[in-house]
Structure 1
Amino acid sequence: MRLNKPLTLAISALLLGSSFVSAAPLETIDMQTYIAQSPTDADYQQIDWISVQDIAKQLPAKPIHVGLDIDDTMLFSSPVFYYGKQKYSPNSYDYLKNQDFWNEASTGLDQYSIPKQAALDVVNMHLKRGDTVYFVTGRWAPEGKETLTTEIRELFPEQYRDQIQPVVFAGGLEKEKQLKAADITVFYGDSDADITSAQHVGAKGIRFLRNAQSTYTPMPQAGKYGEPVLINSNY
């Protein structure tokens, strides 16, 4: 069979392109696209949805103390916990009781965590108001110098970083004492305990949606305690 010149050129171009594809290095995974595959608003019924703008309008004029959970609220940190499970207890969750894991978790591993855009928007809103921001986490404190505070502060404009307090490590204890001690007015979190802890100390709890790809399962029921839920907070 005789090929005409245009077809011959097309086939040559295809073969040449294929050789470049095979020689090219493998692309890295786009985690932002990966974690965006999360539940939509339609998956949740009868919820008091709230936006960052709504929250800002409801806040008092004077600066307040606000708090945020870290894992699945400020950060999509499942890469940290997936790593820990594979390294220390592949067949169980015993790694969560292993101080060696916690020594690693908050001393550099969060370079692989992804900041949630909803959290960035919320914190920036509070910082611009002059509010003091506390990050209260259920993680155990590492025995070495923690880097988590610095990593979080560097997510925000330099002129506001002094308003962000050092991370409070609750160490598996109830967060109520930490919230009360910090005089928290509004607390953001993804877990049931985040919301109930806030409510028990008289603070307003606002729910963040947990991303569908989170390793922290089962998923909690957003709005379970009548709390408002931040729109699009699953990413």
Structure 2
Amino acid sequence: MEYQATILVVDDEERIRRLLRMYLERENYIIEEAENGEDALRMALEKDYDLILLDLMLPGMSGEDVCERLRESKATPVIMLTAKGEEANRVQGFEVGTDDYIVKPFSPREVVLRVKALLRRSSSTKFLETETTSKNVLVFPHLTIDHDAHRVLVDKKEVGLTPKEYELLLFLANSPDKVFTREELLKDVWNYEFFGDLRTVDTHVKRLREKLTRISEQAANMIVTVWGVGYKFEVVTN
């Protein structure tokens, strides 16, 4: 039987929830709903959703607050929905751990395509969490990246990364010793070409290092800051 992904749709407007449910259920997804941030956070912590569509402007706890709290313990993929199209809001959303960003008014078909794309590359996809005999594996001292299974092992212990953290690590590890500017990382990892605040890259690097450091400082130290330029992946030998 084909796996059915479960998606939590969070928006305070019933018509938007109903519209998203209709389009997503056509794609055979299981949909659950929340109309405020408090309920969304409780549900997201109690259950392992495959993806969350999260409105930014919610009554009470905002979407950004929900995402930030969620990231303290879970790597569930999050697509932020917002009526704010300004670059600063998009960057702020990425900084709290959002994986993608859709501005209202949106095309429901675009949402479906973004959902499919994020689920494909998600490190949380349930049916990819089994052991694999994959040949698409990068092996370094203290660190293994199994791309077919979307798994990262640090000293043989699995690390829970958000899809964007995983993509950032994989992108750097695929080109050891090559230095990438923050602009290049935004373009190639986030697929956004815009100028302005580049702190979203620094924030994701910091969060990624913190997760790796909990198991192995040697693994974390492979992500090297090149001052005044950007970042590179440097293989440690001890």
Which structure's residues are more often strand, by fraction? 2
TM-score (norm 1): 0.24
> Quick check: which has more Rg, 1 or 2?
1
TM-score (norm 2): 0.23
More contact order relative to length (CA 8 Å, sep ≥ 6): 1
